[in-house]
Amino acid sequence: MNKNTIIGLVLIFGIFIGYSYLVSPSQEQMLKQKRKADSIYLSNQAKRESEIKNRVRDQAISVAKEKDKVLATGKKLDSLTILRLTKKDELGAFANAAVGKDSLYSIENDVFKLKISSLGGKISNLELKDYLTWDQRPLALVNNDSLQFGLSFFSNNRIINTNKLYFQPFWPDQKNSGQPLIKVSGADSVRFGMRLFMAATDSTYDPGKYIEYIYTVKGNEYMLRYSVKFVNMTDIVDPSTKYLVLNWSSNLNRQEKSLNMERMSTGLYYKYAEDKVDNLSQAKDEEKILKNERLKWVSYKQQFFTSTIIADDFFSDPKLRVFTLHGGNHYLKSMSTEIGIPFVPKENKEVSMSMYFGPNKYYGLKKYHQDLEKQIPLGWGFFLMAWINIYAVIPVFTFFGNFGWNYGIIILILTILLKIILFPIAFKTYKSSAKMRVLKPEIDELNKKYPKKEDAMKKQSATMELYKKAGVNPMAGCIPLLLQMPILIAMFRFFPSSIELRQQAFLWAKDLSSYDSIYTFPGGFSIPYYGDHISLFALLMTISSVIYTKINDQMMGSQQTQMPGMKTMMYLMPVMFLFWFNDYSSGLSYYYLLANLLTFAQIYIIRSTIDEKKLHLQIEANKKKPVKKSGFQKRLEDMAKKRGYPVKK
């Protein structure tokens, strides 16, 4: 950097500082702006308080008038009647539905148990039958304690939300009529309905006007159907309505052993109508309003399970939000969705959608042809990583898993298969390193011949000329290693989210999808960035990686000695990984350990097949042969000749 450049940068920096100083408001201006903002805030606050007082007063007057009307008829005012009168001004024709009893109705199929509540007519609880939490409790994807699910719309200048209104059950399938528990299995299906009736009088309902929910459950499916129908409601729902607003929020329950890992893997996903799958940030709290956008589905995805609503047509103008729940170990994150559902009251048609509550299994999600499998982190951002998981890892897991084999053995088989496929690359890598070792004395001579820094270009040119004559490609040992990186990264992405490994025990590890622990530090002691336990698989993986680094250093000695900083980094990397993998999937640490051990075996086999003395004789013979010019080099020389430049023979 010359003198003029430094002066220019200093002047630019000075201009920015001067400009910032000149345009920044003075202390007096800042105080004036603050007083103005405070005045506006206080004015708005007073206005809001006044509106609330007026609303409460008007409601009290309205209720008092209704009480007088009832008393004039000679009837007595009980607590339920008073509550209905109180809600009449707020809910209008829906006031009677604000009072009721929260009753539960159960449906059980082959894979889950669900309960539908009369309060909101919604699914209030759903347990998966084939899975348990990490501490062996029933695994509930839906929990009424933290669920909000309801439709909002305008009715006579009021906003109505069905979430807190009481529905009444009905059974479309007469054979199940009146049963609080319905069971279905195999290919059969059942339907169950809820109806929200309008008020006819202060204490009666109009049987001809209602909102109807129907749930259709198949015997062997995690997917169910949910339909909504407004019957004779054109005089109740605002005629200008074009969309119903679906409000869905939930606090997701912890299901897994590692709370940190599960939170990192939990997020809100969504698919644009006829377009890509996207998601809110899983690393931080985020809110997103997709104005004028259409979605096909919205999903609350956990590490191994997901809850999804899928539109038959589309959802519009979504408002999505996710934030982490702190201060406890029972919840992961809170998620909320506000989306529009196309609806015109006068058309009186049924609005339908699907709901999925189940595991994140690749083939299980893919069969619905909705791109739901895109929620599983297979490395979608880089096609090669996704292909490795889709066409290698998952098929091996599925094939051998169907035989009931232990997944520790299946990971061993997978590692062996991958090593067999990559054996030609490993052989080429080792052979290249052997050639480099043979040439090491000559490389050392060149280093002595050109010891000065200013001769670096001459030394490099002489070295490349030596490689060329000997028929050695110095990059041959690096390129194969780079080709293996997508496999390592693909495993890193998939293993912690592979439900196939969930709660699968092997040796001392009780759950291959989570960390293994041979020792937990007492008294809540925890090492920063390491944790409160010792993972043996992670420790063994680190030790094997250090040994592999040592062997690789010996194989590539001539190059490593020229880069002492790189050599130190190569030894430091495995130790750094120990801190990361201590709380990671033990199945992944086990895979990396196996990969290192099999690499040692490969090196031993390859070393026994390569005679370095013969290799040296071959290199000496290559030096005596005329160097074959590449097509590119020939073209460069032809161009030089045409322009009159001398060409080196």
User: Residue range 69-73: average pLDDT?
Assistant: 53
Question: What is the CA angle 284-289-292, rounded to 5?
Answer: 150
Q: Both tokens of residue 200?
A: 């006819």
DSSP letter at 345? G
Check pLDDT > 50 for residue 378: yes
Q: How is the chain split into domains, by residue range?
A: 31-77, 91-375, 383-610
Predicted confidence (pLDDT) per residue in 493-549, tens digit: 888 889 999 999 999 999 998 889 888 888 778 888 788 888 899 999 889 888 887
Q: Assess contact for 307 and 314: CB atoms under 8 A.
A: no
**Residue 79: per-residue pLDDT:** 56
**Residues above pLDDT 70, as percent of the chain:** 72
**Tokens 């539908």 appear where?**
116
Residue with tokens 């001769």: 455
Contact between 246 and 332 under an 8 Å Cβ cutoff? The reply is no
> Could you identify the residue written with the tokens 């194969």?
480
Residues 6 or more apart in contact with residue 584 via CB below 8 angstroms: 261, 496, 515, 538
pLDDT tens for each residue of 585-637? 899 999 989 988 998 888 888 777 776 666 666 666 665 666 555 554 556 55
Non-local CB neighbours of 524 within 8 Å, separated by 6+ positions? 532
Work out the average pLDDT over 93-107.
88
Instruction: Enter the DSSP assignment of 26.
Output: P
Pull the structure tokens for residue 223: 């997917």
Q: Report phi then psi at 93, rounded to 5.
A: -65, -10
Helix/strand/coil for 215: strand
- At 561, is the pLDDT very low, low, confident or very high (cuts 50, 70, 90)? very low
Q: How many CB atoms lie within 10 A of CB 370?
A: 19
User: Tell me, what's the pLDDT at 30?
Assistant: 54
Residue-level pLDDT at 602: 84
What's the confidence (pLDDT) of residue 632?
46
CB 319, CB 340: distance < 8 Å? no
Q: What letter represents residue 25's amino acid?
A: P
Measure Cα distances from 28 to 32, 34, 39, 354, 568 in Å. 6, 10, 17, 60, 58
First vs last C-alpha separation in the chain = 40
Average pLDDT, the chain: 79
Return the pLDDT at 41: 45
| Confidence band for 288, pLDDT divided at 50, 70 and 90 | very high
Amino acid at site 474: P
Residue 385 contacts residue 486 (beta carbons within 8 Å): yes
Sign of torsion over alpha carbons 288, 289, 290, 294: positive
- Please name the residues in contact with 407: beta carbons below 8 A apart, sequence gap of 6 or more: 397, 401, 500, 501, 504, 506, 512, 587
- Mean pLDDT (whole number) for 195-202: 80
Do 482 and 502 meet the contact criterion of CB atoms below 8 Å apart?
Answer: no
Note the pLDDT tens digit of each residue in 22-43.
Answer: 545 555 665 565 555 555 545 5
| φ and ψ at residue 173, rounded to 5 degrees | -90, 110
* pLDDT, tens digit (0-9, with 9 covering 90-100), for 354-366: 999 999 999 999 9
User: Which is more confident, 619 or 383?
Assistant: 383
Q: Are 342 and 151 in contact (CB under 8 A)?
A: no
Least confident of 78-87, 228-237, 507-516: 78-87
Is residue 346 predicted with pLDDT exceeding 80?
no
Packing angle, helices 440-449 and 423-438, rounded to 10 = 50
Residue 523 has a pLDDT of 78
| CA separation for the pair 125, 106 (Å, rounded) | 9
What's the pLDDT tens digit per position in 433-481?
777 777 777 777 777 777 777 666 777 777 777 676 666 666 655 655 6
Q: What pLDDT sits at residue 303?
A: 92
Q: With bands split at pLDDT 50, 70 and 90, how would you rate the model's confidence at 298? A: very high
How much is the average pLDDT of 129-149? 88
pLDDT of residue 451: 72
Its CATH class, for the domain covering 91-375, is mainly beta
Q: What are phi and psi of 272, to 5 degrees?
A: -65, 145
Q: Is 396 helix (H, G, I), strand (E, B) or coil?
A: helix
If you ran DSSP here, which 8-state letter would residue 304 be given?
S
Sign of the CA dihedral running 333, 339, 345, 347: negative
**Token pair of 579 as six digits:** 């801190």
